[in-house]
Amino acid sequence: MKDNQIPTAAKQSQHVHTLIIGGGQAGLSMSYVLKQQGVEHLILERHRLGWAWREQRWDSFCLVTPNWQCRLPGFHYAGKDPEGFMVKSQIVDYLESYAAHFSPPIREGVNVTGISRSNPSSQNGRFCVTTSEGEFTAEQVVVAVGNYHRERFPAISSQLPARITQLHSAQYRNAESLQEGEVLVVGSAQSGAQIAEDLHLAGRKVHLCVGNAPRVARFYRGRDVVAWLDDMGHYQLNVDNHPLGEDARQKTNHYVTGRDGGRDIDLRAFARQGMQLHGRMQSYQAEENGDGWLVMDDRLTKYLDAADATSEKIKDSIDAWIAEQGISAPIEARYVPVWQPSESDNRLDLSKISAIVWAVGFHTDFSWIDVPAFNHRGYPIHRRGVCDIAGLYFLGLPWLWTWGSGRFEGVGQDAIYLGEQMLAAGFFGQVAAMGGMENAFR
């Protein structure tokens, strides 16, 4: 990317028509849209292009959605394995190839520490952007940094014995990097379930604290479930039409994996093979002459049953679709639970545990943006990324508009939409009209 970088200038105020904050798939998608229309812009990336994929994923990480769903503007997946699932290195290669495809103006290693308005009392006025490379001003700013900003550790983590290694899921790399002993994974959504599987397949004794994350089958009735749902229009469902409305943004993702060509993650099967499942962690009981105990709730059966019920409900919807469309598809037997929890005292002796992987998510932190564009929780107030503050946009947030908004599947559509809104708002001046933009960028 060095050939594409704008040379670092002296630390003085620089004006750029449009600043994009973040150099992941969202920032690149926005840059592609703007570059196609000849709009002056610059991407500011704190680390390097695609940093999160490089540095915050474990070694065996792969996409849980098939490759054909990678639909960045002007760069849909065209490889030899559309039904496969890109592994970590291939995801990075995909982003680097995308950047090489259109040479975005990007400045890497620039940390943005503040965004404000030159005239805070007005809806108009330039944005003032403070960075490690000096001050910038811009007519508009696209914040494309996702919402996974600070690793979350529960308060209980500070109470545990110092000898136990504690790391966040974003810091986990592989089983070999952890010292010998049993490992506790806390959290059973996508990251937690997949990391537990990774440790389990490596032969480690794993304990998993299970929560209310739902699961989904990988394949059903002859196809990837994602393919069925795509045909059914599931991934075009937007927040306005979702039964939960904007609360859909708080939903936990279904656990499944694309590993080794894709398969279900069946926690019951892991338990039958020796993984120890527990309910949600509730408290820590210290012991004067020992490591103490972790106390879990007694809802493990309920969590497992609810996850299975979600998977079966999705199958019901696929069955109904197949019948309505008159599709010929093989009949498949439904899932039968292979293991049931037994009664226990709901306590885990910490003397057995050498490491804990906290897969409990991230804090969202937009506190560095000094613009009144956030709700009482500090989350952006927007409609499909468009704020009431003229010239401020967000891109790449989960459920910004659809399920795919934070992913390769839908982020490009949102970038194209933002480009259209910028044009309608007059931010592009004499730039060519964007009619038919979505088709032009395929």
**Class level of CATH domain 152-361:** alpha beta
pLDDT(24) > 80: yes
Spans of all domains in the chain: 2-149+364-440, 152-361
Nearest to 208, CA basis, from 269, 287, 258 = 269
Average pLDDT over residues 44-67: 97
At 316, the pLDDT band (50, 70, 90 cuts) reads very high
Average pLDDT over residues 333-355: 92
At 77, the pLDDT band (50, 70, 90 cuts) reads very high
The single-letter code of the amino acid at 86 is M
**Class level of CATH domain 2-149+364-440:** alpha beta
The model's pLDDT over 134-192, given as tens digits with 9 standing for 90+, comes to 999 999 999 999 999 999 999 999 999 999 999 999 999 999 999 999 999 999 999 99
Q: What is the pLDDT of residue 432?
A: 41
The model's pLDDT over 253-284, given as tens digits with 9 standing for 90+, comes to 899 999 999 999 999 999 999 999 999 999 99
The model's pLDDT over 423-434, given as tens digits with 9 standing for 90+, comes to 988 766 544 444
Contacts 24+ apart (CB under 8 A), 114-119: 114/368, 114/369, 114/370, 115/21, 115/141, 115/143, 115/368, 115/369, 115/370, 115/371, 116/370, 116/371, 117/371, 117/389
Average pLDDT over residues 244-250: 82
Average pLDDT over residues 197-201: 98
Q: Do domains 2-149+364-440 and 152-361 have the same CATH topology?
A: yes
Average pLDDT over residues 306-322: 98
